[in-house]
Amino acid sequence: MTDLPSPSADDGGPAAPTPPASTSAIPPAWHPDPQGHHQLRWWDGEAWTDNVSSNGVASLDPVDMSGTVPVGQQPADKIRHQVEQQAGLSVGEGPASSDLLHQRILVVNQKWKLIEVNNEYAVYDQHGTQVGGVRQVGQSTLKKAVRLFSNIDQFLTHTLQVVDVSGQVLMVMTRPAKFMKSRLNITDGAGRPIGEIVQQNVIGKIRFSLEAGGQTLGSINAENWRAWNFAIRDAAGDEIARVTKTWEGLAKAMFTTADNYVLQIHRPLPDPLRQLVVASALCIDTALKQDDG
């Protein structure tokens, strides 16, 4: 470890593309851990190494590229049921795209757990094909124990990676510890800032602003005080997307932590607005629901 540059305390990655394991054109550097076990892993220019870092602390963890994406628990017909029957949307014709960030409809299903100490979500396209996942990283054993035996999630920092089906990091969403309002910092897979999702109020219908480069690009607006369904609007106030929570039955609602959402994007959007809209659907549970656990 002494021959490697020290990872920064805030776990920011370098301004370079996150390399897949087969790419040799990327110079050695710290990048988001493709396994999701830590926040950073060292790329030596040819392959991933055992050198890792979380919260600025370097350590060793053997490379194992298997099982890096949260595996979905729903068959394709159940996903289509969420889209068509529960969210009231029409499934489009034609072949499905594997690109998570360019889907017209995304289905986000949280992994069913009786007790949640590590957030995991599977992400599907409208046809029921898994296109990626969301995984929590950087949690120490102590932090998991604290989450298991207490209800203080809002006072803890949460970092989630959005990954494609190969485990490639597409975005990183970090919600710093909060007291009342959530603020989520969104970066790309290489740690470059995309923007922020900022909670605006705590009473009444919850509202978030979508911000980037010092400008407000849009907003997320809860449609009732329970904050289940959201309308996403651009800076002019026009609805550009919608997030609908889908009901999975009384038993799962009472005895598991699972939350499921369907995102519909109404029209093509430019970056970074498009990225923030996708991130919105993937982080609503972390921004709001974790404090209820």
Q: What is the DSSP string of the chain?
A: -TTSPPPPTT-PPPSSPPPPTT--SSPSEEEE-TTSSSSEEEE-SSSEEEEEEETTEEEE-----TT-SPPP-S-HHHHHHIIIIIS--PPPPSPPP--GGG-SEEEEEEPP-SS-SS-EEEEE-TTS-EEEEEEEE---HHHHHHHHH---GGGS-EEEEEEETT--EEEEEEE---SSS-EEEEEETTS-EEEEEEE--SSSS-EEEEEETTEEEEEEEESSTT---EEEEETTS-EEEEEEEE---HHHHHH----EEEEEE-S---TTHHHHHHHHHHHHHHHTGGGG-
pLDDT at 196: 97
Residues 251 and 172 in one domain: yes
Query: Which of 20-29, 39-48, 112-121, 281-290 has maximum average pLDDT?
Result: 39-48
Residues 34 and 124 in one domain: no
| Mean pLDDT of the residues in the chain | 79
pLDDT at 75: 86
Question: For the chain, how many structural domains are there in total?
Answer: 2
Residue 190: CATH number of its domain: 2.40.160.200
Segment among 144-153, 177-186, 221-230, 254-263 with least mean pLDDT: 144-153
More confident site: 193 or 289: 193
pLDDT at 22: 43
Query: Confidence band (pLDDT; 50, 70, 90) for 224?
Result: confident
Residues 53 and 102 in one domain: no
Instruction: Please check the confidence at residue 173 and state whether its pLDDT lies above 50.
Output: yes
Segment among 16-20, 154-158, 163-167, 182-186 with least mean pLDDT: 16-20
Q: What percent of the chain has pLDDT over 70?
A: 75
Among 65, 99, 114, the domain-final residue is: 65
Instruction: Please check the confidence at residue 7 and state whether its pLDDT lies above 90.
Output: no
Residues 273 and 132 in one domain: yes
Among 11, 46, 65, the domain-final residue is: 65
Instruction: Please check the confidence at residue 161 and state whether its pLDDT lies above 80.
Output: yes
Query: Confidence band (pLDDT; 50, 70, 90) for 10?
Result: low
Q: Which residue segment(s) compose the domain that 113 sits in? A: 76-292
Segment among 93-102, 125-134, 160-169, 178-187 with least mean pLDDT: 93-102
pLDDT at 1: 47
Distance from C-alpha of 211 to C-alpha of 271, rounded to nearest angstrom: 12
pLDDT at 220: 95
Residues 164 and 269 in one domain: yes
Query: Confidence band (pLDDT; 50, 70, 90) for 284?
Result: confident
Instruction: Please check the confidence at residue 152 and state whether its pLDDT lies above 50.
Output: yes
Mean pLDDT across 89-94: 77
The sign of the dihedral angle between the CA atoms of 141, 145, 147, 151 is negative
